[in-house]
A and B are shown apart, each in its own frame.
Chain A
Amino acid sequence: MTDSIVPVKEIEEKMETDKMWIIMGPQHPFSHGLWTLKIKVDGEIVVDADPIVGYLHRGWEKETENRTYPKIIPMADRLCYAASMTYTHLYCMTVEKALGIDIPEKAKYIRIVADEVCRINSHLMWLAAVGTDLGNLTVFLWAMREREYFLDLNVKLCGARMTTNYPRIGGVRNDLTELFERDVIRTVDRFEKALWDIIALMDDSSIIVSRMKGISYISREQCANIGMTGPAMRGCGVDFDIRRDDPYDNYDKVDFEVPVLTAGDSYARYMIRIEEMFQSCDIIRQAVQKIQALGKNAPYRIKTPTKVPAGTHFMRMEDPRGESLMYLVSDGTDKPYRLKVRSPIFTNVSTSKVMCQGCRIADVPAILAQIDMCLGETDR
């Protein structure tokens, strides 16, 4: 009699249920920006995913070849609206390396402060996106409220909210404005308190935790191999942070922890980012102390030649979303011969097939929120 019992799996295979392609995007609430994710579903289970990007391709790298070096700084701002400061910083560092100059200490610390403010900014934007993707609008608004204080810091620092245009080749645009040190410390102190409230809303809610825990597991080896970088990578157990292991500017002179989790799931990636915000607060406090120790009249910007000697140079840095890299080919004129940007999300989004396979349709936004999508830098 046992022979007549057909295993369930065989029945399922015999039924040959149709797989269905669902095309999410480019206008879709989950895609924060213009991109498309085609998912192939078997019932509710995703069996295949195919991201399509390129709707925002502006030829950024080609355009820079026709501009003088200082004019590229505002363009680098527009690579990513949420992390504009880091891209400008990276571009300036690359050109400085090509010029072979060393910038003043104060500028380095100011850049650290600006970078970390920008990192918190970007992470808060991501937190807001996670909130909406999981269906909780309160997290979105609370995170955006906190972000607003950091945008105000940007205004205080350089006069602009998002596209800051602040770092310059050879330093920064202007000195710290009056009382900026006081304001930044106050904001950071206030923010640490407010973040616990948001954490209470996210981590103490069993619904949100169960939506993220245990889904889209990626192992350490696979994560390194598919090129995932940033907080997502550290959530998979790769203990690597460019700020610590390949320090640029003065990151080797401030003291901070790099959070690493080995769980490898969506929740681990979430937790890494939250912890990074706390660490950024610490870095800001230390950097502000160092700036105050340097004194008010310390130089913050040095004069640089307009023409860059020929050669190839590259720099990399820890963007809020991962490893970003700029490769500069200069030919001795005042315009770059070629400037290539390695955007972290460009590679991270290519892993969405690995991340989404085997999960359900409802998990897709929750998983892809952990990439922290920004199309400006993906398509360039």
Chain B
Amino acid sequence: MSVVVEYTSILDFIGFNSYSLMDNQYYPFLDEYNLPYAISYGLWKIIGGTIAWLINLIFPGNPVSEWLMGDGASTLFALIIFMLIIFIVVFVCTLISLWMERKCLGRMMDRRGTMIGMKGFLQCVADGLKTFMKENTIPGKVDRMTYMWTVSLVIGVSVLVACMIPLSGRWFVVNYDTGLLIVMAFFALAPFFILVSGWAQNNKYSLVGGMRAAQLMISYEVPMLIMIATTALLAGSFNIGDIVYAQNDNVWYFIPQIVGFITFFFCATAESERLPFDIAEAEAELVEGWQTEYAGMKWGLIMLADYFRGYVACAMVTIMYLGGWTLPIIGDGPIPEIVFLLKTWFVFFLMILVRAALARVRPDQILNIGWKVFMPLSVVNLAIVLLLKVGGVF
């Protein structure tokens, strides 16, 4: 390769025609095609190729250009771009669901919702900017380290789990065999940090809010896990892709598991701390619950994290019961990602409807609902699925 030439075309470096994604020896997804990675790999080929070409113009034949175009460096930088793409897509989807909530909730309440720019979408951006510009106040007597760390972890875990949701068979971060379990595990982590954060803030409202988050978690987590196990049992796998394609092969799982679908929907609402079950931040009695002492940027990010979790909850419902990114007859289709997102937003619309129509439950009522309603329902659901499975329908 170390051929000294006077002038090299940029096309040689970009290598647009010649690169092959899967042939790269460091290709991280084994033998599966990954669309966002392919996009980022192509992007790096263009960006890195240009940089390598520029360096090569100044220092002809240098090893840096060569390294930049090599397999290892390409994979490294492509992965960085890949992460950015995944995050931006999830971020935009979340903002859209936030916008959708504001508009739909407004119409349900006979008002207009946000109206600034692009039918109100830019209001999210304006709100974000506003919270970022606020002063970063930390109350005097809080446990500073725990105070900062817990909120970072709540936000971090929420973003992480949102990024780990696959949008289609070709749009994923990791394709574990236990994908469903891992997503649910990360999803269930946040209440722990909320609990600790409630202790750290030196505020009675936060303390009660944190305790309530724990109380909320023990009431919905068990039936939720039973229902995940039921779905996995029906599909015969914990792999998200397998579950989706199993539904495509037979029937969408909300038909055999209609009980489970409704129960899981409400559990997911509770998991994302949305209105009927937002007892941890019940603003009528606890000001803002565990978020009381967080101000400015931290509060804005917590709010955003809430919507990330709402998005994840809807995505889980879509994956487990609504056939994920597949459509009947068509199957995958040309753009399964859009199909998936549309389904997710439909579930989110149902959540908005529930929020508009219902009131907040009491902490002792959520325990009752969790253990006396959701739990038996999920077991009934499991029994139905077992019967179907034993009867050989699936």
Contacts and interface: CB of A to CB of B under 8 A. Distances in A.
A135 B282 contact: yes
Contacts of A136: 357-360
Chain A at the B interface: mostly helix, strand, loop or mixed?
helix
A29 B284 CA distance: 6
Contact of B359 (A20, A28, A211, A363): A211
A20 B204 contact: yes
B144 interface: no
Contact of A135 (B108, B110, B287, B360): B360
Interface string B20-50: 0000000000000000000000000000000
Nearest to A24: B285
Interface string A282-318: 0000000000000000000000000000000000000
B374 to A, nearest CB: 15
Contacts of B275: 135
B111 A141 contact: yes
B109 A141 contact: yes
Given A135-B284, A135-B359, A205-B358, A145 B208 contact: no
Q: Which bucket holds chain B's interface residue count? A: 20 to 34
B276 interface: yes
A133 B359 CA distance: 9
Given A29-B283, A207-B276, A362 B362 contact: yes
A44 B204 contact: no
A30 B365 contact: no
Contacts, number: 80
A286 B135 CA distance: 59
A161 B205 CA distance: 38
A145 B285 contact: no
B210 to A, nearest CB: 13
A201 interface: yes
A137 B276 CA distance: 12
B110 A207 contact: no
Nearest to A137: B109
Contact of A134 (B278, B284, B357): B284
B279 interface: yes
A187 B55 CA distance: 78
Given A135-B282, A211-B359, A28 B109 contact: no
A366 B204 CA distance: 20
Interface in A130-148: 131-138, 141-142, 145
B386 interface: no
B364 interface: yes
A287 to B, nearest CB: 30
B356 interface: yes
Interface string A200-241: 010001011011000000000000000000000000000000
B363 interface: yes
Q: Which of B110, B360, B361, B365 has the most CB of A within 10 A?
A: B360
A210 B365 contact: yes
A205 B358 CA distance: 7
Contacts of A29: 283-284, 287
B377 to A, nearest CB: 16
Interface in B313-357: 356-357
Contacts of B205: 22
Contacts of A133: 284
Interface in A43-75: 44
Interface in A349-380: 360-366
Given A142-B110, A145-B110, A361-B208, A30 B285 contact: yes
Contact of A360 (B283, B356, B359, B362): B362
Contact of B358 (A20, A145, A207, A363): A207
Interface in B252-282: 275-276, 278-279, 282
Q: Which of B111, B286, B362, B363 has the most CB of A within 10 A?
A: B362
Nearest to A23: B204
A201 B109 contact: no
Contacts of A205: 357-359
Given A138-B356, A207-B276, A360 B284 contact: no
Interface of A: 20, 22, 24, 28-30, 44, 131-138, 141-142, 145, 201, 205, 207-208, 210-211, 360-366
6 contacts: A20-B204, A29-B287, A135-B276, A135-B278, A135-B360, A360-B362
